[in-house]
Amino acid sequence: MSVSNAKLLHCRLKPGLHTLCLSICLIIPLLAGCHSPESVSTNRLERFEFQSPHMGTLFTITLYAAQKSMAQNAAQAAFHRVAVLDEMMSDYQADSELMRLCEAPPGQPVRVSPELFDILSQAQKFAAMSDGAFDVTVGPLVRLWRFARKKKALPTPAQINEAASSVGYNKLHLEAKARTVTLLAPNMRLDLGGIAKGYAADQALAILQGRGFARALVAASGDIAVGDPPPGQRGWRVSIANMDGHTNETFRSVLLRNAGISTSGDTEQFTEIDGVRYSHIVNPRTGVGLTNRIQVTIIAPNATTTDALATGVSVLGATRGLRLVDTLPRTAALIATKRDGEMRAFTSRRFKSVFTEAVATSKTSR
Ligand code: ADP
Ligand code: MG
């Protein structure tokens, strides 16, 4: 069994109705090592793994191919696609297409690339369905909290109010025919940090599939896109491991094909000020980084969806988040919360069945 891109964390489970004692978890791809007899005869496909840093994290591609050189070329093309998307969508590079768009005067339509238009359209869809909990216009608030994190000092209410006046997905207008984006308020700043890694993982997987490597997995730390399963297997085994501890104990594991899986949480990115822990995920309604400990794992047909929903459901919280997830087809959630030292886990109605479904559903019916 091989473990890639792994952050194995610790978990203590206490059985109970919808309540488990656990630590916050991250997901890792675990490729099951045992092959069925079918896989021996299927072909001489070998497993290859490649890694490359993009979007502030390490992207890992795992694929099955007959020849190393072909696998290498395909992985290179997929990483190149991620690099191109990174250049377009980065909020750290002042000359990225996204940042140039944010420089436009309010009210002026800007024609953008098909990719930027596509991801923004999808982002708006998730904003609407989450009632603004997921919102890529949250940039001014994220920036304020990043600054707070550096200075270890809270932003003032006045600063939060000012930033919040430039936030709101209804201030972002898209015109599909002309492929234009209009920012309707001054000082807006778009932040694709909650969706871009999942989008890039999906696009990288599509490149591999386009080159004939359908048995592939692309992982961008907590955001994973999987295609057809490894030879002789029913799916890619993805383990949901736990944090706040030291063992390699796995909390849950799912078998996925042609699907996405993402985990969001304040495991790694948070700041503690005056004894309060603030997540890098900001509630666009309050303007404050989440202070309730929550970690959300979403499974859905693709990683763009899981990335955005994992972030949005973190803001919505367990009750409202599960209500949303239960309305979406082929979508499931595992939510972990921690309050006053007590850990709880909640699963959406379809959590138990969705990975079986994902395994049973062919690519064409996606
Ligand atoms: P990670 O980047 O750790 O995988 P997420 O996918 O949840 O975690 O993305 C968090 C990032 O999304 C933040 O760093 C920020 O850039 C952006 N973000 C923060 N709050 C929101 C929000 N409410 N909606 C959309 N994006 C957000
Ligand atoms: Mg996300």
CATH classification of the domain holding 151: 1.10.3980.10
Regarding the beta carbon of 217 and ligand 1, being less than 6 Å apart is answered: no
Q: Is residue 65 within 8 Å of 213, Cβ to Cβ?
A: yes
**Full-model pTM:** 0.87
Q: Has residue 115 been placed in a domain?
A: yes
Q: What range defines the domain where residue 134 resides?
A: 97-183
pLDDT in tens, 22-74: 333 344 444 443 344 444 445 689 999 999 999 999 999 999 999 999 999 99
pLDDT in tens, 171-216: 999 999 999 999 999 999 999 999 999 999 999 999 999 999 999 9
Regarding the beta carbon of 264 and ligand 1, being less than 6 Å apart is answered: yes
Predicted pLDDT at 277: 87
pLDDT in tens, 225-259: 999 999 999 999 998 866 564 334 456 789 999 99
Give me the amino acid identity at 73.
N
Interval 5-27 mean pLDDT = 29
Q: How many other C-beta atoms can be found within 10 angstroms of the C-beta atom of residue 224?
A: 30
Q: Has residue 165 been placed in a domain?
A: yes
Q: Has residue 49 been placed in a domain?
A: no
Total domains present in the chain: 1
**Burial (0-12, 13-18, 19+ Cβ within 10 Å), 142:** buried
Q: Has residue 110 been placed in a domain?
A: yes
Interval 285-301 mean pLDDT = 93
Please tell me the distance between residue 358's alpha carbon and the centre of ligand 2 in angstroms.
21
Q: Has residue 149 been placed in a domain?
A: yes
Residues 65, 174: Cα–Cα separation, whole Å = 41
Q: Has residue 207 been placed in a domain?
A: no
Residues 171, 163: Cα–Cα separation, whole Å = 13
Predicted pLDDT at 253: 83
Residues 4, 92: Cα–Cα separation, whole Å = 27
Taking the CA atoms of residue 97, residue 167, residue 138 and residue 290 in that order, the dihedral angle to the nearest 10 degrees is 180
Predicted pLDDT at 246: 36
Please tell me the distance between residue 233's alpha carbon and the centre of ligand 1 in angstroms.
33
63-72: long-range contacts, CB 8 A cutoff, minimum separation 24? 63/208, 63/213, 63/215, 63/216, 63/217, 64/213, 64/215, 64/216, 64/230, 64/231, 65/213, 71/46, 71/213, 72/48
Pocket test for ligand 1, best of 145, 190, 278, 281 (most atoms within 8 A of CB): 281
Ligand 2 (single-atom ion) residues, CB below 5 Å:
194, 264, 307, 310-311
Predicted pLDDT at 22: 33
Interval 155-159 mean pLDDT = 96
Predicted pLDDT at 252: 76
Q: Has residue 176 been placed in a domain?
A: yes
Residues 90, 154: Cα–Cα separation, whole Å = 25
Q: Has residue 304 been placed in a domain?
A: no
Residues 18, 9: Cα–Cα separation, whole Å = 21
